[in-house]
Copies of this chain bind each other. A is one copy, B any other.
Amino acid sequence: MEIITCNCSDCEHRSCARHVPIFSQLNKVQLERVLSLIKRRKYKKGEIILFEGNESKNLMIINRGKVKAYRYTPEGKEQILSIYSSGDFIGEMNILINQHSTYNAEALENTHICMIYKEDFEKLIHDYPDISLNIIEELVKRLEKTQSMLQSLGTKDIESRIGTMLLDFARNYGKDNKEGVLINLPLNREGMANYIGVTRETISRKLNALQEESIIEIIGNKKILVKNIEALSQSV
C-alpha cells in the first residue's frame, strides 16, 4: 500500500494553520475558523515581502519557503537579523504592537505566505487565549536566539562566528549522514557574510581554512558537509 501525500491546493491551504506552533493548542473546529480567515500569497525568490517602515495589516505566516529578515547598517551594508522558515510568523511589529515594521523581509526561495488580517487575529487571540501563550513562547525563543547572535557578533574571533553560524545551519538545515552533517545552505557567500557581519572575501577565506583543517568539505556553492562537528563546537 502506498502512502499518498496530497499536494492539491486545498490541502496545502489547510496546512497553513496546522503545524503552526502558535495554533498548536487549537482543536479541529477552532482550526477551521482560523483557516477561514486566511488568505494565501506566493512570492518568488528575491521578492520583498515586508518593507522596513511600512505598515502591513496582516500577520504573515510562512507556509513554505525561507525568508530573511534584515536591515541596513549606517554604512549601507545589509545586516541579516534572522532566517525564518515554515511555521514562523513575520510582521509582528504591525500586529502585536502598533508599529511599522523595523526590518525588511525577502524571500530566499519561492515562498508561500498565509496572511491573517490584523483585526481577525485580534479576535482570535481574544477568543483563544492559548494563542498568546504560544506567541510568548515563540518570542522568548527569538529573543534568546537574537541574544546569541549578539554574543557572537561581540566576539572578535571570526572563526568562532563562522562556527556559530555553521552549527546553527547544521541544526536547522542539516541532514545527518555517515560522513557528518550535510548542510543545504540557506544563504550564498554574500548572505553568510551579511549574517555574521564580515565581508564576502573573508567568508571565502575562512571556509577554505576550515576545509584545509578537514573540519568541513565545501560542495559547490550550495552545500557544506560538516565532517567534524566537535571541532566546530569547541571553537565556539
Establish whether residues A147 and B147, one from each chain, have CB atoms under 8 Å apart when the complex forms.
Answer: no
Q: Mark A18-33, 1 if CB is under 8 A from B, else 0.
A: 0000000000000000
Scoring A73, A93, A125 by chain B CB atoms within 10 A of each residue's CB, the highest score goes to A73
Establish whether residues B96 and A140, one from each chain, have CB atoms under 8 Å apart when the complex forms.
Answer: yes
- Whether a CB of chain B sits under 8 angstroms from the CB of A180 is no
With the chains together, A85 CA to B152 CA distance in Å? 25
Q: Which residues, 141 to 166 on A, are CB-close (under 8 Å) to B?
A: 141-144, 146-157, 160
**Distance in Å from the Cβ of A198 to the closest Cβ of chain B?**
9
Establish whether residues B235 and A156, one from each chain, have CB atoms under 8 Å apart when the complex forms.
Answer: no
Chain B residues within 8 Å of A153, by CB: 150, 153-154, 197
| Listed stretches A58-66, A130-138, A216-224; interface member | A130-138
Interface residues of A, count at CB 8 A:
43
Establish whether residues B154 and A77, one from each chain, have CB atoms under 8 Å apart when the complex forms.
Answer: yes
State the copy count for this chain: 2
Establish whether residues B156 and A75, one from each chain, have CB atoms under 8 Å apart when the complex forms.
Answer: yes
Establish whether residues B79 and A151, one from each chain, have CB atoms under 8 Å apart when the complex forms.
Answer: yes
With the chains together, A132 CA to B96 CA distance in Å? 11
Chain B residues within 8 Å of A93, by CB: 140, 144
Q: Which residues, 73 to 110 on A, are CB-close (under 8 Å) to B?
A: 73-75, 77, 79, 81, 92-93, 96-97, 102-103
Scoring A146, A148, A194 by chain B CB atoms within 10 A of each residue's CB, the highest score goes to A146
With the chains together, A211 CA to B90 CA distance in Å? 42
- Known A77-B154, A97-B137, A141-B97; contact A71-B147, beta-carbon cutoff 8 A: yes
Chain B residues within 8 Å of A231, by CB: none
- Specify which of B73, B96, B140, B146 is in contact with A154 (CB 8 Å cutoff): B73
